[in-house]
Chain A
């Protein structure tokens, strides 16, 4: 069922704002990814990562970014597993992989939006 044109217009505006937020996340998550690699990620950074990813899950599909939502969900599962494992090496690597995939998807979205 097509959306009300007024609502569609508002969603397009919100979508643009979301893309700006995604670019900020790219920097923030990138730093955390580096720290994860060095095994130097603080508890606060993990909490921030969790909240940031949670926000992406909450909104991405509604704004038409289904794939991004899937990557974010995968990352969230790995964050939960990592926190519960209390720094298990293999789970940390798994989290880094899913975070890499999420970051790649954000970059790809940004690129597509910039060129379109």
Chain B
């Protein structure tokens, strides 16, 4: 794995190199500024597989650099780890919003850093395997459509939408908040209840576009609350807000539905694509401080799944009742006619 480490402190760069080498990562290049890092990235014929960034650097800080790197097509899915002494929430939020995959606080524990880099390697290997398989099936267009279709339960990486991050980054973000003792967060989930029908009727790319549009509609309506949104799979979006207590849930639900209505989503043939949403309860991090923020996330997901099942049962009951009434009304004239006949 080819790694680029960027830090204005040469001692840190030496420490990183030493730690990485012991873990078996010997191909490590270093840069002492954002400009130098960008130069190396442009000059390298092959993209780096993993990037480690300090935040506080003169001229261009690590967060701006992260956003610049993320905007390059070759680096859209590359693991970017922020390694920084900045533990304030504003830095954590900005780093993940700019596309960071993970966040390691300095001073770092060399053993922990090794583990986190190995996780990044795993992510990178999976990314490469996926890219390779996509390349292979490219020759067989028909098969491509089916092969590329991700599993319904898999997270989808939504690109180029402000406030929407990958699911891995979302989990890492929650873990980082927990590590930094920042529990003033609210987590909730939103489920697309008819996701299976959308998944079945859409082509793989259209399914991704639809999920992206829904993600955008959600993110747009929580932007003012410093929220991060992610798609977890199975039609479930998860959101974490710093100012969740200010979220007017009723208004939010109406706004998301209106935004989606305005998007006028359609299937390939032009038929209308309805999106049915169920909104889960807000879970406050304070209650989960001891158990960890990931438990809070699971609770939010469980809650929306339960609501979704309840909603489906209610709808089934309503349609059954309506069906019975319709049948009864349909029979009435007949009965009437029968009487008079």
Question: Is the beta-carbon distance between A51 and B8 smaller than 8 angstroms?
Answer: yes
Q: Closest Cβ of chain B: how far from A100's Cβ, in Å?
A: 22
Question: Is the beta-carbon distance between A18 and B11 smaller than 8 angstroms?
Answer: yes
**A and B contact pairs by CB, cutoff 8 A, 10 listed:** A4-B22, A6-B22, A7-B22, A10-B14, A10-B18, A14-B18, A55-B11, A59-B11, A60-B107, A69-B107
Question: Is the beta-carbon distance between A58 and B14 smaller than 8 angstroms?
Answer: no
Which residues of chain A from 1 to 42 have a CB within 8 Å of any chain B CB? 1, 3-4, 6-7, 10-11, 14, 17-18, 21
7 nearest A-B pairs in the assembled complex, by CB-CB distance: A61-B107, A10-B18, A58-B106, A62-B107, A7-B22, A55-B9, A58-B85
- Is B317 interfacial (CB-CB < 8 Å)? no
- Is B130 interfacial (CB-CB < 8 Å)? no
Interface string of A76-114 (1 = CB under 8 A from B): 000000000000000000000000000000000000000
- Is A57 interfacial (CB-CB < 8 Å)? yes
Report how far A4 CA is from B11 CA in the complex, Å. 19
Report how far A1 CA is from B112 CA in the complex, Å. 11
| A interface list, Cβ under 8 A from B | 1, 3-4, 6-7, 10-11, 14, 17-18, 21, 47, 51, 54-55, 57-63, 69
Question: Is the beta-carbon distance between B56 and A17 smaller than 8 angstroms?
Answer: no
Question: Is the beta-carbon distance between A7 and B11 smaller than 8 angstroms?
Answer: no
B56, B85, B110 interface centre (most CB from chain A within 10 Å): B85
- Is B221 interfacial (CB-CB < 8 Å)? no
A60 partner residues in chain B, CB cutoff 8 A: 107
